[in-house]
Amino acid sequence: AMDEENKRLLYPLGIPDAADPENQIIGKIKQQRNPRVFCKRCYNLMHKNRLPSPNWQDALVGSDTSFLKFLAKKPNSIVLTVVDIFDFPGSLLAHLEQLIGTRTRNIIVANKVDILPKDIHYDRIKNWLAFELNGLGFTNVMDIHLTSAVKNIGVRELVNAIADMRSASDDVYLVGCTNVGKSELMNSFLRTSAVGGWQHKVTASLVPGTTMGMLGLPLSIFNGAFGKTLGVKNYFQVSKHIYDTPGIVNESQLLHLLTHEELKLVIPRTKIKPLSYRIEPGKSIFFGGLGRIDYVYGNVPILFTIFSKIPVHITNIARANEFCDNIANGIQQSVIVPPVGPPERILSFPPMKTVRKRILVDGRHGGISVKDIVFSGVGWASISGTFENAELSVHSAGGKGVFLRHHPL
Ligand code: GDP
């Protein structure tokens, strides 16, 4: 039996209605020795990778982060703040420290490192993240870990670090936006700890916003198992929990504009291969229909290295303007995807809005990258070359999800 406190923690958004057919257990599937039990929602996610509702955006939890305030009252907790390294800082909860206070220990877990190009060194990424987090006002980060939940990279190191700082009475919370990989990380913890193969699995999916309540797993699952696999002591005590909190919908993320089919075109599944383009002044680069960078003014070509899975399209600024005007005027055109689908889809897609009219970049020191322009969740352009005082402008679908990084990845 769950006491009231536990119930409140497990379901900060309210206890699921058992009468709701979506929440009813629909079956047990025998897997190895352990039967698996699913509710309809999880079953649909696993087998169809989508929610039963055709319009999954209706099912999103909402962007209210206030429920995380309860963490401020639990200063013994360890918070694992999960971010998607491919969507940084877009996937970072900007005001997290205000919510959880500075007495709570916060570890940043930068997940999905498996998709970064292979020549980016982890130490460099960590230093870069520390620098960026500082610049974003995070003053209370205890540690930064790079992980890949799907490839089990860095997970043991993370678990050991938690074990080192954790005393027997401390809970651990996974916190982050939707789609950063919290559920997958939970699975990775379970995988690392399960003796004799998989014993539990948390539903992870491509669809943002699908961890509906807070999921608690006893930390005792780590007992002994980690001791065996890692050769470390039994750090985790019975009855304390590791919680996967509901993902927070970050309205600024561009991925929320996309359908399931379109997400497949955008979310990288394997290492991204950076592609460099020498761009002349007067040219425009489209990141599908989601983002656009114009090289408005300058004397020499600039090198744009694109880190994205999305098809880029390079054209003259005049043509780019014409294209965007046509869309805004309801004239349907093809080529630039996503959006993909019937004319209704293309025409109802949020048109490009100017986000930064004038960005000055200066590459007079040559060679090294001077700036990254990031389209949240879609990728980024790293700008380099030898040039002085060039001027760029940036547009994005609905004017969302654009970030500038001064010290590029
Ligand atoms: P959550 O909403 O934070 O719980 O995110 P999920 O665990 O459901 O993961 C969201 C999506 O990201 C799923 O498609 C996962 O397979 C994918 N994902 C999670 N972790 C990783 C990772 O380490 N690498 C890659 N490439 N994809 C990941």
Phi and psi angles of residue 240, each rounded to the nearest 5 degrees, phi first: -90, 160
pLDDT over 90, % of the chain: 34
DSSP 8-state symbol, 125: H
Distance 282 CA to ligand 1 centre (A): 38
The predicted-structure confidence for 219-269, as pLDDT tens digits, reads as follows 443 433 333 333 222 233 223 466 666 666 677 789 989 998 899 999 999
CB of 247 closer than 6 A to ligand 1? yes
Residue 19 has pLDDT above 80, yes or no: no
The predicted-structure confidence for 84-104, as pLDDT tens digits, reads as follows 999 999 899 878 888 888 888
Distance 46 CA to ligand 1 centre (A): 13
Helix (H, G, I), strand (E, B) or coil at 284: strand
User: Are 335 and 313 contacting, i.e. CB atoms less than 8 angstroms apart?
Assistant: yes
CB of 180 closer than 6 A to ligand 1? yes
Q: Tell me the domains of the chain and their CATH numbers.
A: 59-251 (3.40.50.300), 256-405 (no CATH)
State the pLDDT at residue 370.
83
The predicted-structure confidence for 20-74, as pLDDT tens digits, reads as follows 555 444 444 333 444 444 445 445 544 444 433 333 333 333 345 666 777 788 7
Hey, which bits of 32-166 come out as E strands? 34-39, 78-84, 105-111, 141-146
Nearest CA residue ID for atom 18, ligand 1: 181
State the pLDDT at residue 305.
94
Cis bond leading into 89, ω under 30°? yes
198: left (phi over 0), alpha (psi -120 to 50) or beta: beta
Residue 83 has pLDDT above 60, yes or no: yes
* Residue 184 pLDDT class (50, 70, 90 cuts): confident
State the pLDDT at residue 172.
81
DSSP 8-state symbol, 72: G
Angle between helices 182-193 and 155-165 (to 10 degrees): 80
Residue 346 has pLDDT above 80, yes or no: yes
* Residue 149 pLDDT class (50, 70, 90 cuts): very high
The predicted-structure confidence for 385-405, as pLDDT tens digits, reads as follows 888 889 999 999 999 999 998
CA–CA distance, 78 with 146 (Å, rounded to integer): 17
Range with the lowest mean pLDDT among 173-187, 216-230, 261-275? 216-230
State the pLDDT at residue 225.
34
Residue 368 has pLDDT above 50, yes or no: yes
Nearest CA residue ID for atom 6, ligand 1: 181
State the pLDDT at residue 203.
44
Query: In testing the pocket of ligand 1, which one of 83, 115, 150 has its CB within 8 Å of the most ligand atoms?
Result: 150
> What is the number of alpha carbons within 13 Å of residue 197 lying toward its C-beta?
4
CA–CA distance, 406 with 258 (Å, rounded to integer): 28
DSSP 8-state symbol, 195: T
CB of 181 closer than 6 A to ligand 1? yes
Nearest CA residue ID for atom 27, ligand 1: 112
